[in-house]
A = this chain, B = another copy of it.
Amino acid sequence: MTKKSFVTTALSIMALVSACSSDKPPKPEFDESSIETSVMTRTNEPVNIIHPRTSTDEKLVELGKKLYFEPRLSRSGFISCNSCHNLSIGGSDNLKTSIGHKWQKGPINAPTVLNSSMNIAQFWNGRAKDLKEQAAEQIANPGEMAYPHELAVAGLQTIPGYRKDFRDVFGSDRINIEKISKAIAAFEETQVTPNSRFDNWLKGDDNALTKEELEGYKLFKTSGCTTCHNGESLGGNSYRKMGLVEPYKTPNPAKGVETITGKVTDRFIFKVPTLRNVQLTYPYFHDGEAQTLGQAVEIMGRIQLGRTFSPQENAQIVAFLKTLTGDQPKIVLPILPPSADDTPRHNPFE
């Protein structure tokens, strides 16, 4: 496949996906003051410096943090957002596919929550337009948290501490799923990982990368990886077919965007995942079948670019990818308000 036909294919794929508007502005505000203005800043790269996001509504974010760690948003009383998007381990769960209510096997690899606000849409097939929609779906999804919204809301409504929090944030203690998911999304939007070694290099620090890492980045660009993995997030901003050059074989039945549009031409089209913190977010791909970065690079080269990297080239790209680990968010574990006597108790075994 020539480069031109690759780009044409990619563009037509993007046109098929309604959520894929490239001019969509990033939702959270970022802190302008943190942008370094070194004369050496490398601005002519396909990868951009990532900047921390600050929120103008700290109370909303703090409430969202509580809800993110809140197991009472699940039917079992055991699973929270953080169970599968664990902020101790890169915002994912490091499992091939996640564990849902009653230990159900999830259908797809859990994407990281880190930097996820920069995605053009949420989920591998983009079926949620934003983090708010994503959070709401996860709570009710029978294979995940499995708690119908009306029950989740009614439970929180009985908890005095939450009534106070919602009143403080929204001016009314009337809880609903829109407010819950808005708060969770606001917290998630702050989960950004700046100051990776690669960002330091972009900012002009020539010593931030080793020779091997820099070679890896050059190869990453010249091989075409940046066609899809570009921008602040090195991904998350387009949809592409898994298996452009060579069909991808997987035991996972996920069909990608086809599930949303019903079009066979959308089969195996997935949102391109971010490569930020990719060292932490193993295993890789929508099916979690690539266990190591080396495997992921080998497969991507072969099926997306028609290229076989030598062991040395593979190692160089892997070395570069490991420079994308940024500052992990510093989270003070929230203390959740206790249930009241009339709060429904959870029975995970019923």
Interface residues in chain A, defined as those with a beta carbon under 8 Å from any beta carbon in chain B: 69, 71-72, 76-78, 83, 86-90, 93-96, 99, 102-103, 105, 279-280, 282-283, 291-294, 328, 330-336, 338-339, 341, 345-349
Q: How far is the CB of A232 from chain B (nearest CB, A)?
A: 21
Which chain B residues border A338 with CB–CB below 8 Å?
89-90, 279-280, 282
Q: How far is the CB of A190 from chain B (nearest CB, A)?
A: 14
- Closest B residue to A322 by beta carbon equals B338
CA distance A348 to B288 in the complex (A): 13
Which chain B residues border A347 with CB–CB below 8 Å?
95-96
CA distance A279 to B72 in the complex (A): 16
Residue contact B95 to A69, C-beta cutoff 8 Å:
no
Point out which of A78, A280, A330, A346 has the most chain B C-beta atoms below 10 A from its C-beta.
A78
Residue contact B96 to A78, C-beta cutoff 8 Å:
no
Which chain B residues border A332 with CB–CB below 8 Å?
330-333
Residue contact A336 to B88, C-beta cutoff 8 Å:
yes
CA distance A335 to B280 in the complex (A): 10
Which chain B residues border A331 with CB–CB below 8 Å?
332-333
Other than the given A72-B94, A78-B93, A332-B333, 11 more pairs (CB < 8 A) read: A71-B93, A77-B94, A90-B338, A95-B346, A96-B345, A103-B103, A103-B348, A279-B338, A282-B338, A293-B341, A330-B333
CA distance A330 to B332 in the complex (A): 7
Residue contact B341 to A95, C-beta cutoff 8 Å:
no
Residue contact B76 to A88, C-beta cutoff 8 Å:
no
CA distance A280 to B336 in the complex (A): 9
- Interface of A, helix, strand, loop or mixed by DSSP: loop
- Closest B residue to A103 by beta carbon equals B103
4 pairs of A and B residues whose beta carbons are closest in the complex: A103-B103, A331-B333, A292-B341, A328-B335
Which chain B residues border A99 with CB–CB below 8 Å?
76, 78, 348
Q: How far is the CB of A332 from chain B (nearest CB, A)?
A: 6
Which chain B residues border A76 with CB–CB below 8 Å?
99
Which chain B residues border A333 with CB–CB below 8 Å?
87-88, 330-333
Point out which of A293, A334, A335 has the most chain B C-beta atoms below 10 A from its C-beta.
A335
Which chain B residues border A86 with CB–CB below 8 Å?
71
Q: Mind listing 27 A-B residue pairs with CB under 8 Å?
A: A69-B88, A71-B89, A71-B93, A72-B94, A77-B94, A77-B95, A78-B83, A78-B93, A78-B95, A78-B99, A88-B333, A88-B336, A94-B339, A94-B346, A103-B103, A105-B349, A282-B338, A282-B339, A291-B345, A292-B341, A293-B341, A294-B341, A330-B332, A330-B333, A332-B332, A332-B333, A333-B333
Point out which of A102, A334, A347 has the most chain B C-beta atoms below 10 A from its C-beta.
A334
Which chain B residues border A345 with CB–CB below 8 Å?
94, 96, 282-283, 291
CA distance A95 to B349 in the complex (A): 10
Which chain B residues border A283 with CB–CB below 8 Å?
345
Which chain B residues border A103 with CB–CB below 8 Å?
102-103, 348-349
- Closest B residue to A345 by beta carbon equals B291
Which chain B residues border A292 with CB–CB below 8 Å?
341
CA distance A83 to B83 in the complex (A): 9
CA distance A222 to B333 in the complex (A): 39
Which chain B residues border A96 with CB–CB below 8 Å?
345, 347
